[in-house]
Amino acid sequence: MTRMIERWFPCAEVSDACSESWGSGNTESSLWVWFAKRPVAQSKAAVLTSLLPWPDDESEQQKLRDLVREALQGHTAKAKEIQEILEKEYGKAPRVLDPFSGRAMIPLEAGRLQAEAFGIDYSPFAALGGSLLAEMAFRDWSKEPDLPFERRSDTNLTIGEEEDRIVADVENFLFEVGRRFREYMDEFYPKVGEAYPWGYFWASSLPCQECGRRFPLVGELELRRPRPKKGDAGQSFRIHADPKTGLCEAVVHDGPPTGAPTRVQAGKSKYSATGRVAVCPFCDHVHSKAVHTRLSMEGLRQDELLVTADIDPDDGTKVFRSPTAEEVAAAKQAAEALKNEPPFGMLSARPDEVIPDGNTWTIQSVNYGDRTYGDLCEPRQTLGLVRLARAINEVTEECLRAGVSSEYARALAGYATAAMMRKMRRTTRGARLQITGGTRVGDIFVNQSAVSFSYDWFESGLSNGPGSWDSLSRQTVTTLRNIRQRAKAVPATIQRGSATTLPFRPGSMDAVVTDPPYDDMIDYSDSSDLFYVWAKRAMYTADPMLSMTMHPGGVQEKTDDITVKRGGSQGDDHRTHQHYDENIARAFAEARRVVTDDGVVTIVFGHGDLEVWRRLLNAISSAGLVLTGSWPAKTEAGGASATAANIVTTLTMACRPAPPDRKEGRLGAVESQVRDVVKERVELWDRSGLAHTDMLMASAGPAMEVTGRYSKILDVTGNEVGLERFLIVARKAVQDAADIKVVSLPLDSFDARTRFALWWVRLYGRQLAPKSELRWQVLAGDLDMNDVKNLLHQGDKGCRFLAAKEFKSNITSDSSVIDVALAMAKAWPDGLEAVAEVLVAAARDNDDQYLWSAISYLANRLPEGEADVAAWNGLQRARRGVDVAARNIATAQFRTTRESAAKDPQDTLF
């Protein structure tokens, strides 16, 4: 049976829905901390098209297409009609598996389609979160006894009704946990009047290596932005160092900063040291980054409370002040209390699990001396998390004594732990004060999944402000209610396991739909270990098995973790490219084993690196699978770091078991087939509104489809050709099929270097593009890196098209069109004669249509207001003047040459 995904996929509808509220998955993803968010619109479309048949009759095909398009208008649209078709097709509820389920977006959408859904994830932390989203939220808990706590008087839910039971009980459970948490921490957060402060600004202090006095390291002094319309000047603070007492304090004042921070960027200061330096406010001694990092590594950091933040009861404004003596003493008292906290069974109260080696990128504070996960928070933050976890355990225990089933207790404790995990996102020394867009506590994740570190940070208090337990509890309840109300789902079955050894019989799944790890994009297990060590303490009573791990350090197991270890890897970490390739191929082979003979294995994948796609191709092929459909959609927010691919478009790819009788292919014929298929797809993608940058990503799909028809592909000498070659052929085919015109000239008619530059400008303008894209484009243009030298500025974060003022090259008659255009723009500020000299040196004139077409194209494609655009527009307006100046220069050069020849007695006609 042919499946819909092998012939059609709602690319445009998925792209549109992924940016909308229902289809983005923002609600579902807000329940549990995890690092990859598969939009529900794409998840729904992938599951739906993987299950629906593709009839032979064209009118029936159109009906199904229209049905899917309407289904992507929301969660419940056309649900009944879809269910009837699936029941008729399968005679029962179809079975769907996601072996890399993460937070279980795909199993959730399969359950919403009334399929029997299964999710497997190697991370126990992810498996717990997935069960809360796709399983626990939809189970029938109506037979559970009442919770042993007084019901909240302000709830609008009716206990006893199946639809509302779980939401009402979670609300009461969280309320009781919060009540105890505030009671346990009240003495450590003194009230001001009747209210708790909103939060506290802290900094690490170090001893000066010159004068010996200790000073705090702070990078920013502004606390709150001014609001001129309200007559609010904002607030800042300055570091006051008293040489008599040797003490530093923060002095809060209205208005912009009046002093200097103690940690400054060397490149923006008078200091010549590299990196952010630390400057002693007592003696102005400068500590280089290497010095203050070494002092931190040696354990000389101390936590200093500098500023307290209240919430104005009249208008809710966050206002800052110096901490009282009582507040300073309470913070110190918390550090003493932490030493006496009893353990959670066999688990220490303060997490003593050692951060594994090789995590200098993922857990950045290891570069500053942190060794265990308990080191990441200052003592009062740690005590708060310990007692919050204790409150969850106590409430869980009382529910169990009241007769609540162990499964229901696990669910209730799980939702409380979910709120605690979100609290942790703003509860380490990496949670900085954010003042842009409103004063708030920043997220500890600022770069993919790396847990950041800062010498100064912000601690949330016991108020009901942002980051408080009250706000997080409300968000949890609201999210759970919305998830249940969006569409009733069949509870999925989510469990921990390995995608390489699935616990299912052969042929037991009607479809496998999965979103596997993208190579080295995210260190899932290493980044989530921070949450895992706390979650197993919070869930110790409800789920003691959560703490069972074979890792000697007590963190999540890594043996079968199918990722490539990202930056900072040290020692002999086994998560290499080879490990990833071997195990992702094993996982795909397992997916092929458990799917029915007429089922499909659907893989969602995105990456910008040619090498990653090459390896994925080989993994799919070695697993005995071939692509039978591939469909691009804009599903990601994009954005890149120095080491991450800039992913906007992902491919949803359908695979089938490779036929046993595949023939060998010949290079020329296969290349021709790839070009033909890509040309057809470009027409489809263009109608769907896909940008050329997205088409380049999408072209990998048709290339993989075509090559999958053959057992191997041979060149004219009989040697096997690597599959990556056809990815490059496909990208070149996109450019050819796009039929780009530079004014009236075909792009292909320009010289290769200029063609590369104009195509790059077409794709990215002046925007930053990933470095991997440069390699793609060079290979697709049959060039090497030397051929594109001096055309792109390459930095740590990517590549951008060179500005004319940066262009360095001698212009000759052999110079490419793009070089002449850049040189002319660079010369423009120096006048017409300078421009004309470039034109003469290039042996070009006013009638050179390639040069002037390129200049016009660049001026129209790059952002208005740029100096280069102004130069090229000016050149076009002054084209006649440039021509006259060039003729004059050429004439003068000719006369000079002739006169020089006449003066030379050896230069004669005979």
Provide the pLDDT for residue 108.
Answer: 97
- Tell me how far apart the alpha carbons of residues 857 and 175 are, in angstroms, rounded to a whole number: 63
pLDDT band at 643 (very low <50, low <70, confident <90, very high): very low
* Closest of 540, 497, 493, 499 to residue 516, by C-alpha: 499
Place of tokens 């049905």: 67
**Neighbouring-strand partners of residue 450:** 447
The answer for residues whose C-beta is within 8 angstroms of residue 558's C-beta and 6 or more apart is 356, 525, 526, 551, 574, 575
* Higher-confidence position of 640 and 591: 591
pLDDT band at 809 (very low <50, low <70, confident <90, very high): confident
**Number of neighbouring beta carbons within 10 Å of residue 816:** 23
pLDDT tens figures, 545-573 = 999 999 999 999 999 999 988 764 455 78
- Tell me how far apart the alpha carbons of residues 891 and 870 are, in angstroms, rounded to a whole number: 29
pLDDT tens figures, 165-205 = 999 999 999 999 999 999 999 999 999 888 999 999 999 99
* Closest of 764, 755, 766 to residue 788, by C-alpha: 755
Residue 884 structure tokens: 């006259």
- Tell me how far apart the alpha carbons of residues 228 and 233 are, in angstroms, rounded to a whole number: 7
**Neighbouring-strand partners of residue 96:** 117, 511
Reduced to 3 states (helix: H, G, I; strand: E, B; else coil), residue 420 is helix
Q: What percent of the chain has pLDDT over 90?
A: 68
Residue 837 structure tokens: 């000299």
Mean pLDDT of 321-327: 97
Provide the pLDDT for residue 48.
Answer: 96
pLDDT band at 641 (very low <50, low <70, confident <90, very high): very low
**Number of neighbouring beta carbons within 10 Å of residue 42:** 30
**Sheet holding 116-121: strands in order across?**
493-496, 116-121, 95-98, 509-514, 595-605, 649-657, 625-634
Angle formed at CA 865 by CA 864 and CA 868, multiple of 5 degrees: 90
The answer for residues whose C-beta is within 8 angstroms of residue 743's C-beta and 6 or more apart is 853, 856, 857
Provide the pLDDT for residue 212.
Answer: 96
Provide the pLDDT for residue 878.
Answer: 93
- Tell me how far apart the alpha carbons of residues 758 and 771 are, in angstroms, rounded to a whole number: 17
pLDDT tens figures, 55-72 = 999 999 999 999 999 999
pLDDT at 270 over 50: no
pLDDT at 645 over 70: no
pLDDT tens figures, 655-683 = 998 888 889 999 999 999 999 999 988 88
pLDDT at 727 over 90: no
Angstrom distances, CA of residue 628 to CA of 277, 708, 862: 56, 8, 39
Phi, psi of 20 (to 5 degrees): -100, 165
* Closest of 478, 578, 383 to residue 174, by C-alpha: 478
Which regions of 312-383 does DSSP assign to beta strands (E)? Answer: 318-321
DSSP string, 569-583: --TT-S-SHHHHHHH
Kindly report the average pLDDT of the chain as a whole number: 90
Mean pLDDT of 829-858: 93
Angstrom distances, CA of residue 288 to CA of 278, 463, 509, 804: 7, 39, 59, 36
Burial 770-808 (b: 16+ CB within 10 A, else e): bbbbbbbbbbbbeeeeeebeebbeeeeebbbbbbbeebe
Least confident residue range of 28-42, 239-253, 500-514 = 28-42
Q: What region does 54 belong to: left with phi over 0, alpha with psi -120 to 50, or beta?
A: beta
pLDDT at 822 over 90: yes
pLDDT band at 903 (very low <50, low <70, confident <90, very high): low
Provide the pLDDT for residue 765.
Answer: 93
Q: Report the DSSP pairing between strands 286-287 and 263-265.
A: unpaired
Asked if 404 and 144 count as a contact pair (C-beta separation under 8 A), the reply is yes
pLDDT at 154 over 80: no
* Higher-confidence position of 795 and 852: 852
Mean pLDDT of 356-372: 92
The single-letter DSSP state of residue 713 is E
Burial 151-186 (b: 16+ CB within 10 A, else e): eeeeeebeeeeeebbbbbbbbbbbbbbbebbbebbe
Provide the pLDDT for residue 571.
Answer: 57
Provide the pLDDT for residue 824.
Answer: 96
Mean pLDDT of 767-781: 84
Provide the pLDDT for residue 909.
Answer: 38
pLDDT tens figures, 406-440 = 999 999 999 999 999 999 999 999 999 999 888 88
pLDDT tens figures, 605-638 = 887 777 887 888 889 989 999 988 888 887 765 4
Which pTM was predicted? 0.86
pLDDT tens figures, 441-476 = 999 987 668 899 999 999 999 988 777 899 999 999
Mean pLDDT of 122-135: 97
